[in-house]
Amino acid sequence: MALKCSIVTLFSFLLLLATINKAQSVILDIKKFGGANGDITQAFINAWKEACAATSNVKIVIPKGTYKMREVDVKGPCKAPIEIQVDGTIQAPADPSQLHGVEKWVTIGYVSHFTFSGHGIFDGQGATAWKQNDCTKNENCVRRSMNLGFNFVNHSIVRDITSKDSKNFHVNVLSCNNLTFDGFKAIAPDESPNTDGIHIGRSNDVKVLNSKFATGDDCVSLGDGNNRLVVKNVECGPGHGISVGSLGKYDNEAPLDDFLVKNVTIKNTNNGVRIKSWPSEPISITVTNMRFEDITMVNVSNPIIIDQEYCPWNQCSKKSPSKVKISKVSFKNIKGTSATKEGVTLLCSRSVPCQGVELTNIDLKYNGAPVIAVCANVSPKISGKAPTCTSIKSI
């Protein structure tokens, strides 16, 4: 009987070992795919092709070192899960024209169960592009390449990667489902224009966790058509804060529903948590279930702001109010310091006033004194310690 039990135990162990070995990834070292003068563009593309065609898990490894790479756009669907582990620094061309006008320097698309990992850096070398950026004066300006783009990526994770000095947005997320950024970093000087950390559009169940952003624009920004998004345990600053919008400018925009920002520190930014929409535009969409909780502000110019008269650099008309409908918005347990006396600004649309706005336990100080709240076309519900509204006129 003992012998029989031993045989069964041994068989079980061998079966478990076989299962583990089967689940282990095949390793593809990028150096095996060539790369003259440190340029791994074609090597990256070739490694992806082999990985995507494989029927078992594959890990592409980019080891420590400095590499150059031009634009790449790789996509699935692939036959098995793929992981790209980046431990080195990958540099884009410093000259923006050498990326041939592509919207994103590195694009991953149409894959599921994908992992982007490692402690590597994607260096966009954006300084030259920033000097050429005249978008504050010119609506028809040339948009330079973003560092990373994820299109139609599902059930996937980006872990511990750093995006540095992007020429434009660091990351653009489009039409993704169940995509998580964990331990992600986006870094650029505070004077670098349009270097949003992560911009999310038309996506569901995207999470940004345990991440750090220090950029020249929004740390995290939302376009239209998003549902069930979470930003949690994040450090933001310098930059422009965490923004919903801008919204209401383009045809066929889709509603936003269910956004949670929690356990966040925002430091030395132009704005804290913000919802913004354009006036004098015909687009009518809804924004609902926005929750901003447990947030610390440090020297933030506009800690809490709804701005439905968003019109940067006077590049639009304010002849008529925004048609974006904002409802069920809560600001809860927000403390710290404001760089302006008006620490709470709720500037809603005269056409579609905000509904269901709540201010709960707002403890913000300006020069040691409580901030004031200025409001238009909204009657927020006040709970706990929070400033009451002073009414102002709107368009």
Element holding 172 (H helix, E strand): strand 171-174
Q: In 3D, which of 63, 60, 49, 50 has the Cα closest to residue 25? A: 60
**Catalytic residue list contains 119:** no
**What are φ and ψ of residue 220, in 5° steps?**
-135, 135
**Which pLDDT band, with edges at 50, 70 and 90, does 357 fall under?**
very high
**22 phi-psi bin (left φ>0, alpha ψ -120 to 50, beta other):** alpha
- Amino acid found at 181: F
pLDDT above 70 covers a percentage of the chain that reads: 94
Check 113, 119, 155, 240 and give the catalytic one. Answer: 240
**Which pLDDT band, with edges at 50, 70 and 90, does 22 fall under?**
very low
Q: What is 32-134+141-391's CATH number?
A: 2.160.20.10
Write the pLDDT tens digit of every residue in 251-305: 899 999 999 999 999 999 999 999 999 998 878 999 999 999 999 999 999 999 9
Mean pLDDT over 236-265 rounds to 96
What pLDDT is attached to residue 143? 87
User: Token pair of 36, please?
Assistant: 């003259």
Predicted model pTM: 0.93
Question: Is residue 114 scored above 60 in pLDDT?
Answer: yes
**Which pLDDT band, with edges at 50, 70 and 90, does 140 fall under?**
confident
Question: Is residue 20 scored above 60 in pLDDT?
Answer: no
Return the SS3 of 117. Answer: strand
Spatial distance between the Cα atoms of 224 and 241, rounded to a whole number of angstroms: 18
Q: In 3D, which of 239, 243, 223, 240 has the Cα closest to residue 231? A: 243
What pLDDT is attached to residue 147? 98
pLDDT above 90 covers a percentage of the chain that reads: 84
Question: Is residue 10 scored above 50 in pLDDT?
Answer: no
Spatial distance between the Cα atoms of 271 and 268, rounded to a whole number of angstroms: 9
- Residue 53's Cβ-count burial label (10 Å; 0-12, 13-18, 19+) is exposed
